[in-house]
Amino acid sequence: MDRYRPVDPRESPRFSGVKSFMRLPHLKTTEGVDFAVVGVPFDTGASFRVGARFGPEAIRNVSALLRHHNEVLDVSIFDHLSGVDYGDLPVNPGYIEDSYRMIEEGLQPILEAEVTPIMLGGDHSVTLPILRALAKKHGPVALIHFDSHSDTGDKRFGRKYTHGTPFRRAVEEELVQVERSIQVGMRGSTYSRDSLDDARALGFDLVTSVEGQEMGIQKMIERIHDRVGDTETFVSFDVDFVDPAYAPGTGTPEVGGFTSSEALRLVRGLEGLNIVAFDLVEVLPQYDPSQITALLAANIAYEFISLIALRKSASKE
Amino acid sequence: MDRYRPVDPRESPRFSGVKSFMRLPHLKTTEGVDFAVVGVPFDTGASFRVGARFGPEAIRNVSALLRHHNEVLDVSIFDHLSGVDYGDLPVNPGYIEDSYRMIEEGLQPILEAEVTPIMLGGDHSVTLPILRALAKKHGPVALIHFDSHSDTGDKRFGRKYTHGTPFRRAVEEELVQVERSIQVGMRGSTYSRDSLDDARALGFDLVTSVEGQEMGIQKMIERIHDRVGDTETFVSFDVDFVDPAYAPGTGTPEVGGFTSSEALRLVRGLEGLNIVAFDLVEVLPQYDPSQITALLAANIAYEFISLIALRKSASKE
Amino acid sequence: MDRYRPVDPRESPRFSGVKSFMRLPHLKTTEGVDFAVVGVPFDTGASFRVGARFGPEAIRNVSALLRHHNEVLDVSIFDHLSGVDYGDLPVNPGYIEDSYRMIEEGLQPILEAEVTPIMLGGDHSVTLPILRALAKKHGPVALIHFDSHSDTGDKRFGRKYTHGTPFRRAVEEELVQVERSIQVGMRGSTYSRDSLDDARALGFDLVTSVEGQEMGIQKMIERIHDRVGDTETFVSFDVDFVDPAYAPGTGTPEVGGFTSSEALRLVRGLEGLNIVAFDLVEVLPQYDPSQITALLAANIAYEFISLIALRKSASKE
Amino acid sequence: MDRYRPVDPRESPRFSGVKSFMRLPHLKTTEGVDFAVVGVPFDTGASFRVGARFGPEAIRNVSALLRHHNEVLDVSIFDHLSGVDYGDLPVNPGYIEDSYRMIEEGLQPILEAEVTPIMLGGDHSVTLPILRALAKKHGPVALIHFDSHSDTGDKRFGRKYTHGTPFRRAVEEELVQVERSIQVGMRGSTYSRDSLDDARALGFDLVTSVEGQEMGIQKMIERIHDRVGDTETFVSFDVDFVDPAYAPGTGTPEVGGFTSSEALRLVRGLEGLNIVAFDLVEVLPQYDPSQITALLAANIAYEFISLIALRKSASKE
Amino acid sequence: MDRYRPVDPRESPRFSGVKSFMRLPHLKTTEGVDFAVVGVPFDTGASFRVGARFGPEAIRNVSALLRHHNEVLDVSIFDHLSGVDYGDLPVNPGYIEDSYRMIEEGLQPILEAEVTPIMLGGDHSVTLPILRALAKKHGPVALIHFDSHSDTGDKRFGRKYTHGTPFRRAVEEELVQVERSIQVGMRGSTYSRDSLDDARALGFDLVTSVEGQEMGIQKMIERIHDRVGDTETFVSFDVDFVDPAYAPGTGTPEVGGFTSSEALRLVRGLEGLNIVAFDLVEVLPQYDPSQITALLAANIAYEFISLIALRKSASKE
Amino acid sequence: MDRYRPVDPRESPRFSGVKSFMRLPHLKTTEGVDFAVVGVPFDTGASFRVGARFGPEAIRNVSALLRHHNEVLDVSIFDHLSGVDYGDLPVNPGYIEDSYRMIEEGLQPILEAEVTPIMLGGDHSVTLPILRALAKKHGPVALIHFDSHSDTGDKRFGRKYTHGTPFRRAVEEELVQVERSIQVGMRGSTYSRDSLDDARALGFDLVTSVEGQEMGIQKMIERIHDRVGDTETFVSFDVDFVDPAYAPGTGTPEVGGFTSSEALRLVRGLEGLNIVAFDLVEVLPQYDPSQITALLAANIAYEFISLIALRKSASKE
């Protein structure tokens, strides 16, 4: 069950070696693999700060700190799973549509092999080709979307593809089961009174940060479970969901957000759901001098992997 | 009603252009103007770290992220208001009394034109000449003062004017209605047992951070409303009111402070009060490598503007 | 009672002068001294990031911000205590066992003189020789240990002494009364399912971060008091106990931690206990561009000193 | 002759005010204007690091340090010239061909009004639409290109437009008089043995950094003058021409470069040439923590303006 | 002869201990002392960036790297000299004239005791009170002034005392023998054509950076020796004399400057002159993330001390 | 001939993928391999700043910028060589002698396979076990040592192994042919008058920075060639050989050093020598915010590889 597992931190110092995610084997293979960490170093869709192309590098570097056992979820990941760092998908910086095609195609062999991908962005524009690949494999999926922005804009400067529009496109292209989908954490000023209403009009359930802070983490978890049920689900986590104090290294930060504890509790609360893929986006290392954003991102990816391990473990019982 | 409004972020990328606050027109005018954002790049009053003279620049740069609609307060600012970036008031760095005179005189035409000023410091010493100008226009005003320090010291090294003394001076000069005034957020070690008692003895109501954290945000809002009533009010917000995790870029940080969510809730809770002017002080960009302090400051200024918009909107109904 | 006290910040600017802790007299003396701040600039025990050797320098630099009166505990430190900055204990960088001997020997004259030491690390490996010196003076002591890691590993790469093992060694060497000792704040992934169980098996009471966040600060304080009673006690505070948002400058940060307010409340909650020494470890200035970690560390040391002052004050009544 | 000139630094502190270039009037006008500083915040063409979209902001901020008189060239700029900060040209981030059209169109009114533009990038891909606009006005121009790369690649990942290809495109589109054009400063590893030969095969004279360092600054100046003669000339300066020690804040730095003194001497050495426009590209503030790259860029732009002033002055004699 | 010498770096690690300059004894004494390092943490005179008040702290921290023997000048400092870190002179931040009086008075006991002071600023405004104290002791002195600015402005915003005016004031107050004085390194844009001519008109010999780079280091040394002869001399070194690549951490950097090697050669070239005091100013740590500016400053101060040692050594032969 | 070569930067963006050196295959193999890049992330020997354990990671990250063809030496590396990133050798942080044994043993299989190693430190203490392994394979080798320190100290705090002593140990252990060995670049203050004389007394030829700057690069190259002749040679390059302006990210920087151009010329000047191994040490990323030190280090390693390629190429002619 542990064909591929990380270098053991008790045998080699964690700061040592070429930095793959969690120091997993860096192999572009799907054979004997349960999950694959996959970088998508693309940031041409960004509307303000850029640099998420170095997000996967930064997350990999600091992910060396992660250890094998998830204490809170009580699961030893590699008792149940075999995983690899698959490397990065090919992209063409500066060309969104080219890159969309390359990302979608690059992801397909992973999905076809029934390997669960943990995608590391890149800006949030990369989620659209991920959803396209998923829909090809699974049909429309439920979406759980943690973010301070709903990213359901229509066009920007006349163009349909940016990091502010993927979820409107996903609805239009019928990649998601919108009535099974939920967006959580929206906050900050908006372009107009309609901005969030538009997201709701598309069919999403939407919980703003202010609403979520009032209802509390447990209630949010319940609302997510109620919404997605046992549908095949995609989880998209924009690191700007948490407050800039906890995640300064991001492209369009919004103050007034969640803490790292709250984010971890929410992700752990997804236990039991039928999740087929994950992404974690918008880490910009040049705004993260102490690496705390990359560290939080690595930990959230780690919780994602733990959820896969728990599900695998439960399915065998 | 929208004679002057920002460059539309949907028409021009937010990172683009000469950076005025929110990319408002940079005009030294009061005609047809409801509010003016005004820099006061003065930091000669600082007792520890310096550099708040670059505060307005840093806040302007990152304020480009702000959009037109305040989702939580549900107000589209420029449906109700016309606003400009008035630039910076003249100051003489190194000379406090010169600068006090220049700031007071510089502010007068704005006040006389019934334009609501949003002042961006600078260190907290700039609040005294602001209060002098306000008192000339309005008589003594109520003061709502968010800060980790009461800034009611008497003299420092024999001198009356520093960033640790403005509110004592304001009481002595009868610029504030001290019985209508409240200071919130004081914490950190003090020079002596008397320090906060002295502030109270001057007549201020004072809520420390520890007290405020115990009573909760809603109670603090009520206490503020009870205190100031419908008096003409000045709001002074020192960014060190929030914890250094949320606002590292400041001159005399004190650990154990409020979060950005709490600060936003408090400011939004001022809705309905009769506020005639605002300041936001003590942003030091050289201690703010990820711009999160400047971003929080810009957002607080944005909430100030939203309060003006709400009041304008309400007055028309 | 105030033979040695800091330079008065009202008489000399706080940014001024050679930077001893709190600008106390820098004297290698114990005569007429109640407490001594002592640096231990040793980081050879670190398993991931290094640089804690510059921790004492960074803490001293920013400790200039501290003032004489603790407002929350209502104690004016130097009304009750005389204190010095004793400088740094000698260490031999690169050689753990040499340094252990030097630290233990360096600390002894302080303990023999009944001076309460506030030790500033350095990585957490320095706590073992501190405990050795304490046990020589006091016999085994109770331990209150705030940290995100239990530091009760056995060996790393075949060696017994690292910053991940001091508390197992302390139990083995009978330096602590383990049944009177408590570890608080553990979180993050672990090397195996047994990691925390091993700590508990050694005899420690252990409260994880998740448990602590659920039970609340007040309950944790009570649990600590119940555990240690009036035993002579050592307090060891690893700055990674707080969340990386509040303390980015540390060696093995773990997301999902406590806030600075919570940390301060916990430390203040130790009032009344019979504490004979303190340490504060794992501050790495090169990951702390805004000095907020060093500032928090300085404040925690300040609360330690305040506890000594309170106890001295109470004993006289 | 000085219709538009900067705020006088002797009358208002240089750190003060909304930051246009050199604190010139920020006006989108060409009337009564001799030169216009124009931002082109576009970085979608970048192949490695991104963030040049914030280059104009960073250069403007620190350009406040510049004063009116060029001591070395002995010219008081505003005795001869009227100038404005024209703001930024519109661009569509993420879309190169859209932006090329917008840049070309945006520049035309400036050229038509006989105003000399000083363009601030942005990455080097912006030079192609600048050359297109110039060619429309002037026909093919001579090119003086300072850079560590020749930027004469053909395609990258199948696409013709990136920051590595503008000068090949310019030759193909007959925008430059290649036999009158020169590239200076090439260094660093290349993709293949042919890389620089290809540039030479296109017709450019090319001086590598190693050759230039051997021949010396004066000889390089002579070679440039010999090459371009009195042809209408465009000067393109990539800040990576200088060594990363002097310009760390750039996208594809190459070690082994020129000093700031050498760069200034070279630019001053262009005196007397018939230059119709300038650009300065590839400043990335997020890699420039001390602002030295932006400061050097501002100074080079200042020398450009001084050259215009000298030519204007000479033409009147 | 070595009553006071640094902690021996072969006996205690250089990163260890409370950081006085070179880890010299921190003593406010002049008895048995040949030289005293004295901080002047005053930056109220600064016209652009501020923060030089933390200059002495930063220089002290990194000066721990300095060792006892000057290899190039071949002198073992403490074979000849006894020295102390005298701490900082009292200043009143925000009040220039107060501080001028405090600095002048603070320096007097050192001069009266025939101790050679090495003053660490602080901004360049501190040189005026230093010269006042020197003139009281020695009468007017020769001045050797390394700087990118001549600092001979008259008034700024109507005030006579800033960091841009000390040397005009010094001439007016007859503190320097201007016909024996020389300014070296001026460069950068100036406020007007007259700026440097004014300095020359005051009587100074003046060598610009461009002139100095042409004449070479050796010729500059000769010109300095010719100018000052054996007059009692004061050396003032503004760290912005070197290029920002070598000294990014300063207040008004000017590109196109000297290298660290050239600066060291120049200072060493002062051997044999009759120097009675030194200062080193304008180090701003917040713009110096890698501490290279502070390190260069510490080394220049070290060369100053070496010159004293050489002179003492020579006088005994 | 090119069994193993980097990912082609024309086929995949250079910022993409798991970061091995130059994006070479990360394989712990020697079969079909001409050179191997090998990390040695060990910094327990450091006497001042620490953090070189992250040097290999930082160099690998930015080495993605390197391309296949060395323009100056006119060699296309992978036309002649097959190379891999071998990963890091095992070390035991905190334990020098353990690590020495691990490094020596780890290197042996590479040497035995006649693969030329390019070792990336780590602090300079790692060179001793490298020399031990080399001597086992080749017998004593000639040493070319670029550094600002001679690293020929005897003991520090009673211990023989630190980063200040490897070359004395190497002579004592007869690992080098000292009469064929040369040290270049020494500068900075020394512990005593004897420091450099001691190095010379050991038998090294030694050229200080001041001497080298006077004799010029070409003369230094000749002196090196004369010294080592055709002996089997090891090249050790401490990045502090260059000035801190060019390499701020290092542990014990010394001002007054060489430029990056000069360093490159020197290394290229080693062409023709019989070099059997290289190391590049003392890169500390936490003092290198703009990555310029890591970039220079990567380029020097690249020149090393180019020298191997040239020699291979020549041997075939």
Determine which of A135-139, C7-11, C293-297, F239-243 has the lowest per-residue pLDDT on average.
C7-11
Buried-exposed string A244-273: b where 16+ CB fall within 10 A, e elsewhere: bbbbbbbbbbbbbbbbbbbbbbbbbbbbeb
**How many angstroms away from the CA of A192 is the closest CA of chain B?**
5
pLDDT at position C317: 62
Please name every residue paired with E134 in a beta bridge, in sequence order, or none if there are none: none
- CA-CA distance, B23 to B14, in Å (whole number)? 8
- CB of F67 within 8 Å of a chain D CB? The answer is yes
In this predicted structure, the answer to whether residue E2 has a pLDDT above a threshold of 70 is no
Q: In this complex, do B16 and D289 lie within 8 Å of one another by their Cβ atoms?
A: no
Ranges of residues in chain B with a pLDDT under 50 are: 1
Alpha-helical (H) ranges within chain A are 55-63, 77-80, 96-112, 127-138, 166-172, 195-201, 209-215, 217-228, 260-268, 292-316
DSSP string, D10-73: TTS-TT-SS--GGG--B----TT-SEEEEEE---TT-SS---GGGHHHHHHHHHTT--SEETTT
In this predicted structure, the answer to whether residue A2 has a pLDDT above a threshold of 60 is no
**How many angstroms away from the CA of C270 is the closest CA of chain A?**
25
The predicted-structure confidence for E27-51, as pLDDT tens digits, reads as follows 999 999 999 999 999 999 999 999 9
Rounded alpha-carbon distances, angstroms, from residue C35 to C24, C78, C275: 11, 11, 12
**How many angstroms away from the CA of B243 is the closest CA of chain E?**
21
pLDDT at position B315: 86
Q: In this complex, do B264 and A252 lie within 8 Å of one another by their Cβ atoms?
A: no
Structural tokens at position B72: 């939580």
**How much of chain F, in percent, has pLDDT values that exceed 70?**
99
**How much of chain C, in percent, has pLDDT values that exceed 70?**
99
In this predicted structure, the answer to whether residue E246 has a pLDDT above a threshold of 80 is yes
The predicted-structure confidence for F81-130, as pLDDT tens digits, reads as follows 999 999 999 999 999 999 999 999 999 999 999 999 999 999 999 999 99
Structural tokens at position E54: 């933390």
Q: In this complex, do C243 and A259 lie within 8 Å of one another by their Cβ atoms?
A: yes
Q: In this complex, do E192 and D68 lie within 8 Å of one another by their Cβ atoms?
A: yes
Chain C residues within an 8 Å CB radius of B191: 9-10, 67-69
pLDDT at position B2: 53
**How much of chain D, in percent, has pLDDT values that exceed 70?**
99
**Confidence label for D194 from pLDDT (cuts 50, 70 and 90):** confident
Q: Which one of A16, A66, A261, A287 makes the best mutation probe of the C interface by having the most chain C beta carbons within 10 Å?
A: A261
The predicted-structure confidence for D112-140, as pLDDT tens digits, reads as follows 999 999 999 999 999 999 999 999 999 99
Residue C258 is classified by DSSP as B
Q: Which one of A42, A43, A44 makes the best mutation probe of the D interface by having the most chain D beta carbons within 10 Å?
A: A44
pTM as predicted = 0.98
**How many angstroms away from the CA of C56 is the closest CA of chain E?**
8
Q: Which of B70, B76, B264 sits opposite A255 (nearest CB)?
A: B264
The predicted-structure confidence for B199-220, as pLDDT tens digits, reads as follows 999 999 999 999 999 999 999 9
pLDDT (mean) for A207-218: 98
pLDDT at position F9: 78
- CA-CA distance, F53 to F51, in Å (whole number)? 5
Q: In this complex, do E244 and D70 lie within 8 Å of one another by their Cβ atoms?
A: no
- CA-CA distance, E45 to E38, in Å (whole number)? 19
**How many angstroms away from the CA of A214 is the closest CA of chain D?**
36
Q: In this complex, do D53 and B20 lie within 8 Å of one another by their Cβ atoms?
A: no
Which C positions 91-150 lie with beta carbon below 8 A of chain F?
92-96, 98
Find chains touching chain D: ≥3 CB pairs under 8 Å: A, B, E, F
The predicted-structure confidence for C66-76, as pLDDT tens digits, reads as follows 999 999 999 99
Question: Among B280, B300, B303, B307, which Cα is nearest to B119's?
Answer: B280
- CB of B49 within 8 Å of a chain E CB? The answer is yes
Nearest chain D residue to A51 by CA: give it. D50
- CB of F189 within 8 Å of a chain E CB? The answer is yes
The predicted-structure confidence for A150-159, as pLDDT tens digits, reads as follows 999 999 889 9
Q: Which residues contact B17 (CB under 8 A, 6 or more apart)?
A: B7, B23, D39, D87, D88
Q: In this complex, do D93 and B13 lie within 8 Å of one another by their Cβ atoms?
A: yes
Q: In this complex, do E261 and F156 lie within 8 Å of one another by their Cβ atoms?
A: no
**How many angstroms away from the CA of C52 is the closest CA of chain F?**
9
Contact E49, E282 (CB under 8 A): no
**How many angstroms away from the CA of F102 is the closest CA of chain E?**
27
E strands of chain D, at which residues?
35-40, 69-70, 75-76, 83-88, 116-121, 142-146, 182-186, 205-208, 233-238, 275-281
CB pairs under 8 A between C and F: 58
Rounded mean pLDDT of chain B? 96
- E149 CB-side CA count, 13 A: 28
pLDDT at position D316: 75
- CB of B53 within 8 Å of a chain E CB? The answer is yes
Q: Which residues contact A217 (CB under 8 A, 6 or more apart)?
A: A262, A265, A266, A269
In this predicted structure, the answer to whether residue C93 has a pLDDT above a threshold of 90 is yes
Chain E residues within an 8 Å CB radius of B94: 44-46, 94, 96, 159, 161-162
Cα torsion for E90, E92, E96, E99, to the nearest 10°?
-20
Q: Which of B189, B252, B255 sits opposite C71 (nearest CB)?
A: B189
Q: How far apart are the first and last CA of chain A?
A: 15
In this predicted structure, the answer to whether residue C39 has a pLDDT above a threshold of 80 is yes
Question: Among F70, F246, F254, which Cα is nearest to D256's?
Answer: F246
pLDDT at position B222: 98
Chain E residues within an 8 Å CB radius of F49: 15
**Confidence label for A317 from pLDDT (cuts 50, 70 and 90):** low
Chain A residues within an 8 Å CB radius of B289: 287, 289
pLDDT (mean) for C289-310: 98
- CB of E6 within 8 Å of a chain C CB? The answer is no
pLDDT (mean) for E85-112: 98
Rounded mean pLDDT of chain E? 96
The predicted-structure confidence for C231-286, as pLDDT tens digits, reads as follows 999 999 999 999 999 999 999 999 999 999 999 999 999 999 999 999 999 999 99
pLDDT at position F317: 63
Q: Which residue has the tokens 């994950």?
A: A278
Chain A residues within an 8 Å CB radius of F88: 12, 16-18
In this predicted structure, the answer to whether residue F2 has a pLDDT above a threshold of 70 is no
Q: In this complex, do A61 and F61 lie within 8 Å of one another by their Cβ atoms?
A: yes
Q: Which one of B47, B49, B50 makes the best mutation probe of the E interface by having the most chain E beta carbons within 10 Å?
A: B50
Chain E residues within an 8 Å CB radius of F192: 68-69, 76
Q: Which of B87, B92, B289 sits opposite D17 (nearest CB)?
A: B87
Q: Which of A14, A68, A289 sits opposite C48 (nearest CB)?
A: A14
Q: Is C120 helix (H, G, I), strand (E, B) or coil?
A: strand
Q: Which of F15, F264, F289 sits opposite D256 (nearest CB)?
A: F264
pLDDT (mean) for F53-60: 98
The predicted-structure confidence for F151-187, as pLDDT tens digits, reads as follows 999 998 899 999 999 999 999 999 999 999 999 999 9
Nearest chain C residue to F288 by CA: give it. C286
E strands of F44-100, at which residues?
69-70, 75-76, 83-88
Chain C residues within an 8 Å CB radius of F92: 156-159
- CA-CA distance, C166 to C237, in Å (whole number)? 13
pLDDT (mean) for D230-242: 98
Q: In this complex, do B76 and A193 lie within 8 Å of one another by their Cβ atoms?
A: yes
pLDDT (mean) for D265-292: 98
Q: Which of D76, D245, D260 sits opposite E256 (nearest CB)?
A: D260
pLDDT (mean) for E180-185: 98
Q: What ipTM describes this predicted complex?
A: 0.96
In this predicted structure, the answer to whether residue D239 has a pLDDT above a threshold of 70 is yes
Go through chain D and tell me how many residues it has. 317
Rounded mean pLDDT of chain A? 96
Q: Which of A26, A57, A88 sits opposite F61 (nearest CB)?
A: A57
Burial (CB count <10 Å: 0-12, 13-18, 19+), residue E14? buried
Q: Which residues contact A214 (CB under 8 A, 6 or more apart)?
A: none
pLDDT (mean) for E64-84: 96
pLDDT (mean) for C88-113: 98
Q: Which of A49, A95, A159 sits opposite D159 (nearest CB)?
A: A95
**How many angstroms away from the CA of C130 is the closest CA of chain F?**
19
Q: Which of A50, A92, A158 sits opposite D43 (nearest CB)?
A: A50
Q: In this complex, do E246 and F244 lie within 8 Å of one another by their Cβ atoms?
A: yes
The predicted-structure confidence for E197-222, as pLDDT tens digits, reads as follows 889 999 999 999 999 999 999 999 99
Which D positions 229-288 lie with beta carbon below 8 A of chain A?
286-287
**How many angstroms away from the CA of D249 is the closest CA of chain E?**
12
Nearest chain A residue to B6 by CA: give it. A191
- CB of D45 within 8 Å of a chain A CB? The answer is yes
Chain C residues within an 8 Å CB radius of F155: none
